[in-house]
Amino acid sequence: MATVLLVRHGRSTANTSGVLAGHTPGVNLDEVGQSQADRLAERLAGLDLVAAFSSPLDRCIQTAQRALVGRDLTLQTDDRVAECKYGDWTGKELKELADEPMWKVVQQHPSAAVFPGEHGESLREVQNRSVGAIRQWNSELGERAVYAVFSHGDVIKAILADALGLHLDQFQRIVVNPCSVSVVTYTPARPFVHRMNDTSGELASFAPPADDEGSSDAVVGGGAGEPR
């Protein structure tokens, strides 16, 4: 029953300027984003994490470094949870992109969306690589592991859609705000989504259960609830 905390980076300079940052270098947290990451460190204070992974982009690394301050934990970066490669859309203003024909595809039929240009990526590829990373880490870290992944809005939405059993075309219904935490426990039977887009709730209850506590796989009726 590995549990992953999916953390979106704090508010960035691109967020405030309305620009699709993508893989643009040098996009940093603004003052609000820094404060958000510092508050997240307080929320995480009572929770031992066995590992932490991050997108290699600056805004995620900065969020992770602030949120994990004081921990004896090596932050590992992995391209599989990096932002979508938006190709020719990278660096453009969102209000400009809203007039593009592809914009409607992204919003209404994202499973068919492939971003233009030599380096453009499809949202299906984003989901495949990010979910693959999560499942690999679950296997490697063990069933009692609780770990954090610092990533981006579209990436986290894609992972959550998979955990919820939703088609990728439904992922735009999911909201993932800056520095929010979403929590998923993966069991042999199915994932359980405990939190989505949480910006203020406590997190210490997601500590690994005692050895004699049973699995929530067999829960019926109301669902698994908070197993920790």
Residue 169 DSSP label: G
- Residue 193 domain boundaries: 2-206
CATH number at residue 57: 3.40.50.1240
pTM of the model: 0.91
In a domain, 200, yes or no: yes
In a domain, 219, yes or no: no
**Short-list 132, 182, 124, 128, CA closest to 152:** 182
In a domain, 104, yes or no: yes
- Mapping DSSP to helix (H, G, I), strand (E, B) and coil, where does residue 77 land? strand
Separation of alpha carbons 26 and 33, rounded Å: 15
In sequence order, what are the residues at sequence separation of 6 or more whose Cβ sits closer than 8 angstroms to the Cβ of residue 176? 8, 153, 156, 157, 160, 182, 196, 197
Q: Could you give the strand order of the β-sheet that contains 2-8, starting from the edge strand earlier in sequence?
A: 75-77, 51-54, 146-151, 2-8, 181-186, 191-198
Q: Is the distance from CB of 190 to CB of 225 less than 8 angstroms?
A: no
In a domain, 55, yes or no: yes
In a domain, 226, yes or no: no
In a domain, 224, yes or no: no
In a domain, 220, yes or no: no
Separation of alpha carbons 177 and 186, rounded Å: 23
Q: Is the distance from CB of 54 to CB of 151 less than 8 angstroms?
A: yes
- Mapping DSSP to helix (H, G, I), strand (E, B) and coil, where does residue 102 land? helix
Per-residue pLDDT for 222 more than 60? no
Q: In the chain, how many domains are there? A: 1
Q: Is the distance from CB of 46 to CB of 27 less than 8 angstroms?
A: no
**What is the per-residue pLDDT for 1?**
82
The structure tokens 């991050």 sit at: 54
Helix (H) or strand (E) holding 36: helix 31-43
77-90, pLDDT tens digit by residue? Answer: 999 999 999 999 99
Question: Helices then strands (H, E): number in the chain?
Answer: 7, 6
Per-residue pLDDT for 39 more than 50? yes
In a domain, 171, yes or no: yes
Separation of alpha carbons 130 and 6, rounded Å: 11
**What is the per-residue pLDDT for 123?**
97
19-36, pLDDT tens digit by residue? Answer: 999 999 999 999 999 999
**What is the per-residue pLDDT for 211?**
61
**What is the per-residue pLDDT for 209?**
67
Separation of alpha carbons 101 and 118, rounded Å: 18
